[in-house]
Amino acid sequence: DGGITQSPKYLFRKEGQNVTLSCEQNLNHDAMYWYRQDPGQGLRLIYYSQIVNDFQKGDIAEGYSVSREKKESFPLTVTSAQKNPTAFYLCASTQRETSGYNEQFFGPGTRLTVL
């Protein structure tokens, strides 16, 4: 079955530690996204990538980094510079069109907690 996988489901980080969240898709989508979800707030865009080896900052990129070496994979690293990383992280993908915009498909999420 086609879809998006995220791992791990739960992640615990100690102060000063970098952690990497995995996102893989087998939908053959060009574009991939990382969002952060906090209680009572809408999803906030961290980074997005529309093509391999290229990515752009979203609204809250500080303290995060990404790479897009393969079409299927878009890992997110939460660095020690991110002061409040406890949140639910969602990865999404969509197929780009020359005109119009398709819906985004989401993975199951990773819940990150700072100890």
Partner 1 sequence: EDQVTQSPEALRLQEGESSSLNCSYTVSGLRGLFWYRQDPGKGPEFLFTLYSAGEEKEKERLKATLTKKESFLHITAPKPEDSATYLCAPLDSNYQLIWGAGTKLIIKP
**Site for partner 1, rule CB under 8 A:** 4, 35, 40-45, 90, 92, 101, 103-109, 111
Residue number, 38 or 69, with CB nearest to partner 1: 38
Q: How far is the CB of 35 from partner 1 (least distance, A)?
A: 8
Q: How far is the CB of 110 from partner 1 (least distance, A)?
A: 10
DSSP for 52-96, please give it: TTEEEE-TT-TTEEE--SBTTB--EEE-TT-S---EEEEEEEE--
Q: How far is the CB of 16 from partner 1 (least distance, A)?
A: 28
Q: Give, in order, the Cα–Cα distances in Å from 112 to each of 18, 83, 94.
A: 12, 13, 24
